[in-house]
Amino acid sequence: MMPAALIFDVDGTLADTEEAHRQAFNGAFARHGHAWQWSRETYRDLLRVTGGKERIAHFVRALGLDPLRTDECLAEIPALHCTKTALYTHHVAAGRVPLRSGVQRLLIEARAAGIRLAIATTTSLDNVTALLAATLGPDLQDAFEVIVAGDAVAAKKPAPDAYRSALKALDLPAEACLAFEDSRNGLRAAVGAGLRTVVTPTLWTREDDLSEAWLVLPELGDPDHPLRNPPAPLARPWLRIADLPELLDATA
Ligand code: XBP
Ligand code: MG
């Protein structure tokens, strides 16, 4: 059975974006006069908290500041995050964040097969718009008929809200769709919405527990970037739309 729709996460899945996010957070802290600078190690730990505003709040609360100073810093988060998003979208718009291997090819194959496309992400909508504009050619610009982003849902990943909202907008049952994720938080959100999930972890999430994934691949891969040691069911060393019916039927 061919899926009726593919629902993609953004950060880490469509593109490996978290280093750009990390630099944007640090740039925003400096512009707002804070000495805070998130190292890669610190950021990897903070990525357990989804949502940039929530991530900053978690960091502030862990600083052990006096209650008044903590409240002052928390009150500053909307402005801080606005600066961060401006820095990030500027970086993305300059074409510095490419799609991961196989993503563009799979989107083209899905469109050719009449499979609908959606996004369910925790990141801000401005970030999604900037990434799609900078990376997808004109023929794929409006490829995603549904985009559920950031604060559009009450509870962010690992809650299933973003995926449930995407399924509702698609008017499709979870069984008819397939999700694509990169992290445990995202996998829990997709599985929580009843979705079988392909996970392509990044260096940020390679230590995550991905045991609930339907399929784990290092990348989606493509002829220019074939997968080393592709799992047996794949007919080629990259995941193709044509592989999905047999793969899905084998695990129905
Ligand atoms: C990843 C996130 C986001 C980004 C930062 O989202 O958790 O918070 O790290 O973006 P996903 P914002 O993997 O669901 O795409 O600062 O805009 O939140
Ligand atoms: Mg992600």
Q: What's the pLDDT tens digit per position in 111-170?
A: 999 999 999 999 999 999 999 999 998 889 899 999 999 999 999 999 999 999 999 999
Q: Taking a C-beta distance cutoff of 8 angstroms, is the pair 184, 194 a contact?
A: no
User: Which ligand gives the minimal distance to the CA of 89?
Assistant: 1
Count of C-beta atoms within a 10 Å radius of residue 198: 25
Question: In whole angstroms, what separates CA 138 from the centre of its chain?
Answer: 22
- The yes-or-no verdict on residue 249 having pLDDT over 90 is no
Q: Taking a C-beta distance cutoff of 8 angstroms, is the pair 180, 7 a contact?
A: yes
Q: Taking a C-beta distance cutoff of 8 angstroms, is the pair 246, 127 a contact?
A: no
Q: Taking a C-beta distance cutoff of 8 angstroms, is the pair 1, 245 a contact?
A: yes
249 is catalytic: no
- The yes-or-no verdict on residue 188 having pLDDT over 90 is yes
- The yes-or-no verdict on residue 252 having pLDDT over 80 is no
9 is catalytic: yes
Closest ligand 1 atom to residue 55 Cα is 8
The model's pTM:
0.97
- The yes-or-no verdict on residue 110 having pLDDT over 90 is yes
- Residue of the CA atom closest to atom 3 of ligand 1: 123
Per the structure block, which two tokens stand in for 193? Answer: 């919405």
**What per-residue confidence (pLDDT) applies to 137?**
83
Count of C-beta atoms within a 10 Å radius of residue 48: 13
Round to whole Å and give the CA distance between 18 and 37. Answer: 15
Residue 197's contacts (CB-CB under 8 Å, 6 or more residues apart) are 178, 179, 180, 181, 186, 187, 190, 191, 212, 213, 214, 215
Average pLDDT, the chain: 96
User: Which ligand gives the minimal distance to the CA of 51?
Assistant: 1
Model confidence at 232, pLDDT cuts 50, 70, 90, reads confident
Count of C-beta atoms within a 10 Å radius of residue 91: 19
CA of 23 to the centre of ligand 1 (A): 13
